[in-house]
Structure formats: structure tokens, C-alpha cells
Structure 1
């Protein structure tokens, strides 16, 4: 499927406000890819695709996750995580995306994972800090992202973990693993 048709299909499946977020993630992903040495074209494609399943009914997300059979453990956690693996599978199945690196960046943009690729980190961070995002700590994440991809992403994970703790919610283990991996490999303090 050509890029313009893909964009129109994805855009039609979400509210206009979410599409503005996606546009912000696209622009931010390209900037971060150029800044930190990831492939800007892959970053753009992953950003276009990252929320394609966000507004699907829960049963459709679950069906895609079960059909793919890869990330079944995510079904035991908050449904807010489900759109990422469902979207990665849909990108391959419904849009013909075959680039494993792009699909992984879509799959891990909400939870992270240990040993994230540069593209994974760029797209995940762009999702945290695109211009329309407003939450406590986002300005610090943006400042860190001027010079340190891993410190900025670790700050993003810290924010998510803090939010989940404050709400009394369970934390998906891969988010903790991703954060700890960034801390361990980069001695971020």
C-alpha cells in the first residue's frame, strides 16, 4: 500500500485530535532520528503506524494479538498497552509492512523492552514528547532529548512508572526492564 493511502486509512480510524498527535510523533521522530543516528524514513513510517490500532474495539485488538501469538502476556495487563502489538501485527498483515525494525518500533512504543534498538528508542521517545503532550515532567524530557536519547527515554519511563504507581495500577514488566536497561548501559543517574 502506498504511503498516502496508508495515512488516509489510519487517519480515518481515529479522532482528529489523535491524528494531530500522530503528526507530532511523525515530525518528532524524524528530528530525533536525524539527531541520534536512526533512519529517518523508518522513523517516519513507524510513527505513521504507531497508533493505528489505538481506537479499535478491545476484542479486535485481542483477536489480532492472539492470532499473531507473540505478545500474549500483554493481555494480562492494562488494555492501554494492547494497541502496540495489535498495531504491529496489523501493519504487517493489513498494510504489508515487512521491515522488522519498523514493526518492532511500533510494537514497543508503549512499553519499551530491554535492548531497544535506536529506532525503538526514537519512536518511543517521540510518542512521549511530541509537541502536543502535556504532563508533569515533559519539559525535562524534551530538554534531555536535545543531547541524550537514553536519559530522555529513561525519564519518560520514570514518568510512566510514577503515574502507574500513583494510580495503584500494575506495571508491565517490560517497562521496568526497558528503564533498567537504559540505566545499566548508560549509567544514567
Structure 2
């Protein structure tokens, strides 16, 4: 892995990929991820780095992302699904090839920050929730997710994913299967923890 001890150099690389509003969001996610990592026992440096990198390809043209995804044999359900998800999967590929980030935990946190997945790691949960609650976010229910994130990371993530699915259904858009599976996994974990 390339050494990214020079924060300014890394941020310049990230900044070059996006517009001002997206960059402000990125900084907010990185700081929120660091704080959540400290609170829940994940690696704060990895969380912050994943936060900086999570939207690396977000502002790229969809045809460029599509080309990357096809070249790396991404599943048909992703390629035929909502294009808003592509940046996460393309981003995990690009930050490895272009920036030399090889840490699998960081790559997975970037890859699954929009969809979630079954069996998410603590770092993946931290980055996913940070993406929802960073200070620049303003949508109905965000305050509830922010408050819950200080008490129960899994519950906050389940609430966030549930809200995303509800939004997609109301807009008559498809729900990516991993998101539904991630939500069900989190709900099952909660149920099992109550039994113990």
C-alpha cells in the first residue's frame, strides 16, 4: 500500500475528482467516520481514510464507471440496477489501481458504503453510517439516525437502510438486493441479541 502519510497530497487527489459540495460532504464523512470508529472500537485512521475515499468516483461520468465495472466482471444485477450505486464499486477498484490502496478493509468499506451487505464489518458499518449522518446531510429522519448512531450503530444502520429502501420504493426505483439482505441481517442480529 502506498504510504498516505501526507494528508494534503491525498486530499488534493480526492479534491480533483469532485465538485465543492461533494468535497465538503467527503470531509464530513471522514470526520464522522473517525468519531464513530473511536466510539465503537474500529480503527479511526482506516475509518477516516475510507471516508476520504468513499466517493472518489461519485462525480465521474457514468459511462466511465460502467466501463470499469464491466472490465472487472461486476454482477449483472449491479450493471442493470441504479447507476447511483456504481461509484462505490468503481471507487474500490480505482483507489486500488490509481492510489495504491490495498487494505481489504478500506476497499470493502468503500465498496459497500451505499448498499451494505450481509455480515458487514465494524469498519464498513462505521463508514456507511457516517455517510448518512455527516453534518452536511439534511433529509427527513437524519436527526433520528444521528442520535441513534451515538447509542447503537447497528440500529442506526438498519434505520438508515430502511429509509433508503422506502425512498426508492416511493420513487418506483429498484432496491439493490444487497441492501435488503443487509437490512434483514441487521434485524436478525438485533433479534438474536434480545434472546441472549
Match of 2:66 in 1: 62
Give 1:88-103 correspondences, 5 Å limit.
88-103=92-107
The correspondence for 1:34, drawn from 35, 38, 42, is: 38
Match of 1:48 in 2: 52
Task: List gaps (5 residues or longer) in structure 2.
Answer: none
CA distance in structure 2 between the partners assigned to 1:94 and 1:25 by the alignment: 21
- Answer whether contact 1:61 1:82 (CA < 8 A) is retained: yes
Q: In terms of mean alpha carbon deviation, does 68-77 or 120-129 score higher?
A: 68-77
SS in structure 1 of the partner of residue 151 of structure 2: coil
TM-aligned CA distance change 1:93 to 1:178, over 3 Å: same
CA distance in structure 2 between the partners assigned to 1:72 and 1:53 by the alignment: 20
Q: In terms of mean alpha carbon deviation, does 136-145 or 61-70 score higher?
A: 61-70
Deviations 1:37-68 (A, max 9, x none): 11001101111110000011111101111222
> Offset at 1:76?
1.2
Deviations 1:95-151 (A, max 9, x none): 000100100000000000000000000000000110111111111101111110000
Give 1:15-34 correspondences, 5 Å limit.
15-34=19-38
Match of 1:118 in 2: 122
The two structures have a TM-score, normalised by structure 2, of: 0.93
Task: List gaps (5 residues or longer) in structure 1.
Answer: none
Supply the RMSD in Å over aligned alpha carbons.
1.4
The two structures have a TM-score, normalised by structure 1, of: 0.96
Number of corresponding residues: 189
Match of 1:129 in 2: 133
Match of 2:177 in 1: 173
- Answer whether contact 1:65 1:85 (CA < 8 A) is retained: yes
The correspondence for 2:17, drawn from 13, 17, 20, is: 13
SS in structure 2 of the partner of residue 113 of structure 1: coil
Is 1:86 the counterpart of 2:90 in the alignment?
yes
